[in-house]
Amino acid sequence: MKSDLTKAFADYAKDLNQASRDENIQKAMSRAVKSYRATTDETMRRFPHTPDLAAEVREIKTRAIQDNAALLQEAMASVERNKGKAFYAKDAQEALRLALEIIGRGKVVVKGKSMLGEELHLREYLEEHGNEVWETDLGEFILQLKKERPMHILSPAIHVPREQVADIFSKFFQKEIPPDIAAEVGAVREFLREKYFSADVGISGANVVAADTGAMVIIENEGNVRLSTGAPPVHLLMVGVEKIVPTFQEAMKVAEVTWRYAQYGVPGYVNIISGPSKTGDIEKVTTYGAHGPKQFYVIFVDNGRSQMAGDERFSQALHCLRCGGCMYECPVFQVTAGHFGHTYLGGIGAIWTAFVSGGLDEAAPLLYTCLRCGRCVERCPMRINVPGMVGELRKMLVYGESLPGEDLPEAAVAGGVSHAAET
Amino acid sequence: MAVEMKLPPVLDIIRGNIVKYGNPLALKGSEVAAWAKGLKLPKEGEVLFYTGGEYQLLPFIDSLVKTMTHIDQGSKSFSLMMGVRNILDKAGFNAEKVYASVLAKDRERFNSVCYKAAFVLQKLGYDLAYAGDEELYSGALLYELGFWQDLKEYAPKVRRMIEKTRAKTVVCLSPHAAEVLKLVYPKMLPGFSIQVRTFVELVWERRNKLPAISSAPVVIHDSCRLARELEVDEEIRDILIGAGVPVREAERNRQWTTCCGGPGKLLFPELSHVMGSRRVTELEETGAETILTSCPYCLAALAGGQEKGDKTAVEDLIEFLFRGYAA
């Protein structure tokens, strides 16, 4: 087979050039980079144990990825023991099918921000199947209205200034919203509050999963995840298999390193969810669905991750905590934002694009955009060698090689993991 | 399933030139070695002075990029032009004819960097050997662009070229050459154990012998390869401070240095230019009058990133140190 990428490169170069001339992007990015560096420097001084903790987390993640198949089994068993329902999805199609089976059609869904959701095009899929889905993260909400994709994994609407937000909101809410950030936040708060309590299903991702307890850790600042996962009668959590670590204690370490490098300093909320809401207050009889969701579903998604895990050159890409720190240091990202990316962004995004979200040809232009300058490695708490992996993938591209694991039979790719009990 | 990808043609052109002519732009050996005519350097010796032809090809890269910036690489006319080039390549690449836009003063400047480097090292007491028109490019771009199999086949030629000089140490002007010889070759060539040093390291060892240089404040642009892969950064400061030069520091420096954008030049020339300009701004914010770097690609990218009428000078450390002798 032959795939002509010359046009894709030319179109992509035009897109990058345009982004680098976009004043909104330039203004937003220079503010963001400055603020990221200042906050991170300050919080590192305040919590000087962080780099050592990051080194410890590197060890935890390395072991966890090696033992991923076993940890997945353990985590699924823990979820089931906690009276949740656990599923394993081999690929995107299966993940979407499972989600739709759980949610059904004609439902109102509130959703927290999730990169996995972006990878699966989850919202669009559920909408196509007759559901009303609301992004509850403020940035994602703006992009939902704007019909655009995220330009940063943590600050998805990083490129949209307040004046533009005011225009979009005024049109949507059909009333004048001034270009005042507090007023803009207030308008969304008022609108979504009603949605949280009328929604049938809340969807979230997770930053870390503890296999021993089945605890799902979700870091946030806005409180939207707390409401999305707490108010509706059903909570569906979808998470990549790489997020599992052995113990609750280790999960806390991973979480702390994640939020510190993600510029949160101290996050507003850390949600830990292990099962459905329950009470034993009347006659000690356990009853589910007290104040929170009565049903709790977890879909563990592979979608190329075990392929990465199985190759020592690429397994470290799964250590990524999605803190987004690398992007602020990337000279290309600084001028183009998420235009340097597909679903996953920046240099690490090029690796993820190749394995889980588009394949090698989609990744090709990104792989050649990376300068291999290595400053992302300096920032990365996991010290992921992105330039090294970019080199390996370029090699595969120029010689027409397949990604590792692509020629293996399905069972080997899935790492021998069996599916969970059906509901 | 393996899928053959058709990538932008410039990649394969660079690959082909290196493999066939020992130089990314197929410059002739005599052109690459022209700078050394007056020096009569021996072809054998303990310390091999290695230019890799990198400073020499800079003015040509710029004009290649200028051509590409105006042509859509996916278009027919680009392929057609590359076809014409390929025909020319068969008879050797006549750079002057194809790139009439290359200014003589640029050629002279970049060629003389090699001369100045050799001059400075000789003054510091190093006896240098030089392979002359037999010198081959290191193959760093083969590594960079993903042509690792080609590099594996090409590297033995470079090894033979080096071994022929009986050198124990290779001194590289370009950190890209130093990186590939020091960190990549040993993995590809069993028993390749020649000592690889950079120009900066050799100067640093004998920095006490350098003449003082009277200069307005300078700022150092650390090259990514030098600062991060080769961990050479403090040495440049020691050298300059020892020579009495006031050094200013950019906010992002040493292992946190900002890339000049140079690596993106071949495929994304406009974006590369934007990054170069931004780095120039970061460096100029220090108020220094001269920006110094120690990498041919940084030198070209930063000089290209300057605005018209910009009063700040962009120089290679080699050029700057040479001034100490010219004064």
Residues B194 and B218 occupy one common structural domain: no
> What beta strand segments (E) does A241-335 contain?
244-245, 269-273, 278-279, 287-288, 295-301
Q: Which residue of B has its CA nearest to A401?
A: B2
- Do A13 and B270 count as a contact with CB atoms less than 8 A apart? yes
pLDDT, average across residues B18-31: 88
Question: Side chain identity at B25, as an amino acid letter?
Answer: L
| Residue spans of chain A under pLDDT 50 | 408-423
* Portion of chain B with pLDDT greater than 70, in percent: 87
Token pair listed for A254: 């991973």
pLDDT of residue A265: 83
Contacts of B257 in chain A (CB under 8 A): 375
CA B232 to CA B255: how far, in whole Å?
A: 9
CA B118 to CA B131: how far, in whole Å?
A: 13
- Asked if residues B220 and B190 have their Cβ atoms less than 8 Å apart, the reply is no
Residue range A6-46+313-405 in CATH 1.10.1060: yes
Which one of B183, B202, B221 terminates a domain?
B202
CA A354 to CA A364: how far, in whole Å?
A: 8
Q: Is A9 on the interface with B (CB under 8 A)?
A: yes
Which one of B173, B202, B231 terminates a domain?
B202
Q: Is A371 on the interface with B (CB under 8 A)?
A: yes
CA A366 to CA A354: how far, in whole Å?
A: 10
- Do B74 and A6 count as a contact with CB atoms less than 8 A apart? yes
Residues B253 and B173 occupy one common structural domain: no
pLDDT of residue B272: 96
CB atoms within 10 A of CB A41: 10
Closest CA to B317 of B200, B159, B153: B200
CA A380 to CA A187: how far, in whole Å?
A: 36
- Do B271 and A9 count as a contact with CB atoms less than 8 A apart? no
CA A227 to CA A52: how far, in whole Å?
A: 34
For the segment B151-179, what is each residue's pLDDT rounded down to a tens digit?
Answer: 999 999 999 999 999 999 999 999 999 99
Closest CA to A114 of A349, A343, A363: A343
Token pair listed for B313: 């000078």
Q: How many domains does chain B have?
A: 2
Cα–Cα distances in Å, from A193 out to A18, A220, A227, A372? 38, 17, 9, 45
Query: Which A positions 263-322 lie with beta carbon below 8 A of chain B?
Result: none
B43, HSE (Cβ side, Cα atoms, 13 Å): 9
- Option in B15, B147, B259 nearest A331 (CB): B259
Terminal CA-to-CA distance of chain A, rounded, Å?
41
Any domain includes B1 = no
Q: Report the residue of B188, B268, B272 to disrupt the A interface, i.e. the one with the largest count of A CBs within 10 Å.
A: B268
CA A237 to CA A299: how far, in whole Å?
A: 6
3 state DSSP class of B44: coil
- Asked if residues B48 and B165 have their Cβ atoms less than 8 Å apart, the reply is yes
pLDDT of residue A317: 98
- Do A9 and B74 count as a contact with CB atoms less than 8 A apart? yes
- Determine the distance in angstroms separating the CA of B306 from the nearest CA of chain A, rounded to an integer: 17
Least confident of A15-24, B19-28, B37-46: B19-28
CA B323 to CA A284: how far, in whole Å?
A: 88
Contacts of B230 in chain A (CB under 8 A): none
Q: Is A20 on the interface with B (CB under 8 A)?
A: yes
* Residue A342 exposed, middle or buried by CB count within 10 Å (0-12, 13-18, 19+): buried
Residues B184 and B306 occupy one common structural domain: no
What is the complex's ipTM, to 2 decimals? 0.92
Q: Is A419 on the interface with B (CB under 8 A)?
A: no
Q: Look at residue B85 and tell me whether its pLDDT is greater than 50.
A: no
- Determine the distance in angstroms separating the CA of B11 from the nearest CA of chain A, rounded to an integer: 9
Contacts of B80 in chain A (CB under 8 A): none
- Asked if residues A86 and A75 have their Cβ atoms less than 8 Å apart, the reply is yes
Query: Which B positions 13-72 lie with beta carbon below 8 A of chain A?
Result: 15, 72
* Beta sheet of B47-50, edge-to-edge order: B128-129, B47-50, B169-172, B195-198
Closest CA to A324 of A112, A47, A82, A35: A35
Q: Which residue of B has its CA nearest to A15?
A: B271
Contacts of B145 in chain A (CB under 8 A): 394, 398
Residues B178 and B220 occupy one common structural domain: no
Which one of B168, B202, B236 terminates a domain?
B202
Give me the CATH number covering residue B322.
3.40.50.1860
Q: With cut-offs at 50, 70 and 90, classify the pLDDT of residue B78.
A: low
Any domain includes B254 = yes
CB atoms within 10 A of CB A314: 21
Q: Which residue of B has its CA nearest to A375?
A: B256
Token pair listed for A63: 């072991």
Size of interface A-B (CB pairs under 8 A): 137
3 state DSSP class of B204: helix
Any domain includes B3 = no
Contacts of B2 in chain A (CB under 8 A): 1, 400-402
Q: Is A383 on the interface with B (CB under 8 A)?
A: no
For the segment B217-276, what is each residue's pLDDT rounded down to a tens digit?
Answer: 999 999 999 999 999 999 999 999 999 999 999 999 999 999 999 999 989 999 999 999
Contacts of A378 in chain B (CB under 8 A): 228, 255-256
- Do A13 and B73 count as a contact with CB atoms less than 8 A apart? yes
Residues B38 and B122 occupy one common structural domain: yes
DSSP-assigned states of every residue in B119-181: HHHHHTT--EE--GGG-----HHHHHHT-HHHHHHHHHHHHHHHHHTT-SEEEESSHHHHHII
pLDDT, average across residues B134-145: 97
CATH H-level superfamily of A67-279+286-303 = NagB/RpiA/CoA transferase-like (3.40.50.10420)
- Option in A378, A393, A400 nearest B4 (CB): A400
pLDDT of residue B75: 54
Q: Which of the pair, B326 or A323, is modelled with greater confidence?
A: A323
Question: Side chain identity at B119, as an amino acid letter?
Answer: F
- Do A335 and B275 count as a contact with CB atoms less than 8 A apart? yes
pLDDT of residue A227: 98
For the segment B278-289, what is each residue's pLDDT rounded down to a tens digit?
Answer: 999 999 999 999
- Option in A6, A17, A402 nearest B2 (CB): A402
Show me where the domains of chain A are located: 6-46+313-405, 67-279+286-303
**Could you list the residue range(s) of the whole structural domain that residue B49 is in?**
9-202
Least confident of A53-67, A134-148, B34-48, B104-118: B104-118
Residues B35 and B132 occupy one common structural domain: yes
Lookup result for tokens 């290209």: B304
Any domain includes B2 = no
